[in-house]
Amino acid sequence: MFSDSERLKNLDKILVIAVPAIGDFVYLVPFFKEISKRYPKLKIDLLLDETGGRKIRRFNWKKKLSQKASVIDWLSSLNFFNKIYRIYTSKKVLKDVLSQARKQNYQQIFVLSWGRPHRHVCYARKISPKGFVIATDCKKYPRFNKMVDLVLNYSSFLLKKTGEWHISELFSSWFEQAFDLKLSKEQIKPFLSIPKKFQDDVKKSLVEWGVQNGEKTVFINAYSSNKSRNWPIENVLGLIKKLQKKPLLSDSCFVINMPPGINKEDVVFAQKNLPSNTFAFSANQNFFQLPAMLSISDLVISVDTSIIQLTPLLNTHLIALMRGDSEWRPPKLETKNIIFTQNRGRIKTLSVENVACCVEKFFSL
């Protein structure tokens, strides 16, 4: 029986099954980079399930595809991922992807999923009936653990009180269990490089909007894939109008994020009621459009979504609107730059006055 590290030395490729969540991959990418560095001949293939492990129905998923797929632009740009399979929109696509992957004769599959790992374990066994499968614990469906050769434990993390651990610690535990990979804090530090083209494009947009050099740019995101984390568009516009009355921010540029797939009523409402020197932005063509805009902003205000994971990587200041201290809190983000709801309530309960006060304090320092 090979040890964890010896298994990789004897393989030419592995398959990783995961959900294409930007926030997850912010912290996962450094681990794959290190594996690629230690085993340069090893090809790392990804199978990304854009349905989130849910049952595929004939309606619904085409609509959500554009929201999920942007992370693939980023992962495709990294030279340590070899091939990326995508599961989306239909059962036929699922069947074709599993068939393609099975032809590759993967000897090892890593199921890196904690939402619905039991479904991904099934995919792994259809791809490689006799291969070595590593998977996160199927706690809700323990019978699927019998289909796995190495079950990754994370119960010790979930038993901790909220806020006492960070998601990167959990991922560190998984990679240590799976591959005997022990990395320092410096090695697991997230990183993101933005191609110059997208940096130039957002600068061009600011010029077209009439934003002058030296004017402050405040980027506001009120949307998450989880609707309970959304902040009402009325609050966003109210916040901007309130801040524009302050001498420090009277000539600032405000950019409202309008991601693909959001409520059309919000889009129409925003377009009809945009305050002066305020612009709607949508990263609807490529993943890098969003981080490029974040990188040139003086301040980002965002609800709890991938944007609060990306912004610190770009050395841009952040105010996060969160439901409570959690394992997804950006590392080293000062408490004064996080506005928590009471009793982990919905983000919409946060008042415009509360957020405006935090912004004013930030710019007055």
Q: Which domains does the chain have, with CATH numbers?
A: 4-179 (3.40.50.2000), 196-364 (3.40.50.2000)
The pLDDT score that the predictor gives to residue 260 is 85
What distance in Å separates the CA atoms of residue 181 and residue 6, rounded to the nearest whole number?
A: 12
The pLDDT score that the predictor gives to residue 340 is 82
The pLDDT score that the predictor gives to residue 141 is 85
The pLDDT score that the predictor gives to residue 338 is 83
The pLDDT score that the predictor gives to residue 61 is 47
The pLDDT score that the predictor gives to residue 91 is 84
- Output the six-digit token pair for 64: 């959500």
The pLDDT score that the predictor gives to residue 67 is 45
The pLDDT score that the predictor gives to residue 337 is 81
The pLDDT score that the predictor gives to residue 167 is 85
pTM: 0.89
The pLDDT score that the predictor gives to residue 59 is 44
The pLDDT averaged over each successive group of 10 residues in the chain (365 residues) is 66 95 94 95 95 61 52 94 90 93 97 88 97 91 92 67 71 91 90 96 94 91 90 96 92 93 89 94 94 96 94 93 76 73 82 94 81
- Strand 84-87 relative to strand 108-112, pairing: unpaired
Nearest-10 crossing angle of helices 167-179, 22-38 = 30
Burial class (CB in 10 A: 0-12, 13-18, 19+), 336: exposed
